[in-house]
Chain A
Amino acid sequence: DSGVTQTPKHLITATGQRVTLRCSPRSGDLSVYWYQQSLDQGLQFLIQYYNGEERAKGNILERFSAQQFPDLHSELNLSSLELGDSALYFCASSGGYNQPQHFGDGTRLSIL
């Protein structure tokens, strides 16, 4: 158990819809990262927050947004969903620059 909690575990929805993925980091970790894993793109970094502020941005689509709240949990919002957004979305947290990132179990998103 990494200590990172992601909900929901599975999400099935239709094209054009909007969903919110939630992540609670390990106790004490200020950094939260979001990654997308798909068969064709592999594991890709989306965005990082540190103590409520956006720290780094990767290949995140404009239809996607994220935020980190004062209690340090984070949400990833995906809108105008397309079939290609079907993937496993991971959240990770870390306690510092040279510490490993600990990954949650992921949210499997299926777009029908």
Chain B
Amino acid sequence: ELKVEQNPLFLSMQEGKNYTIYCNYSTTSDRLYWYRQDPGKSLESLFVLLSNGAVKQEGRLMASLDTKARLSTLHITAAVHDLSATYFCAPGGSNAGNMLTFGGGTRLMVKP
């Protein structure tokens, strides 16, 4: 059974600072997804990482994937308040379907 662990679970940071969220998973997966969720809202797709060594960047967020280490990171550069949300990682399923197994989420609060 695939297990996904994110850390930290909660992150409070000052605007302008950098930080990294880590996502470890227990079994082989060749795809990993990052999502953002605002309180009471839906999940918004941020990144789809499709291969070992994949790196994607959008604005102040950059995601990377190391399939050998079963690790993905989401790096935040010069955080701003608008980035406050919960971030989830989810490796894709290895069966014929594409079920996502979500980590517990990292709740990010960016303070002015």
Contact = CB atoms under 8 A, between A and B. Distances in A.
Q: Do A and B bind each other?
A: yes
Interface of A: 2, 31, 33, 35, 42-45, 48, 50, 55-56, 58, 90, 92, 94, 97-106
A31 B95 CA distance: 14
> Do most interface residues of chain B lie in helix, strand or loop, or is the interface mixed?
loop
Q: Which 7 pairs from chain A and chain B are nearest by CB? A: A56-B97, A100-B45, A43-B102, A55-B97, A103-B43, A45-B99, A48-B97
Interface string B83-112: 000001000010111111110110000000
Contacts of B105: 42-43
A98 B42 contact: no
Contacts of B99: 33, 45, 48, 56, 58
A72 to B, nearest CB: 16
A105 B41 contact: yes
Contacts of A103: 35, 42-45
B48 A56 contact: no
Contacts of B98: 31, 33, 48, 56, 94, 97, 101
B33 interface: yes
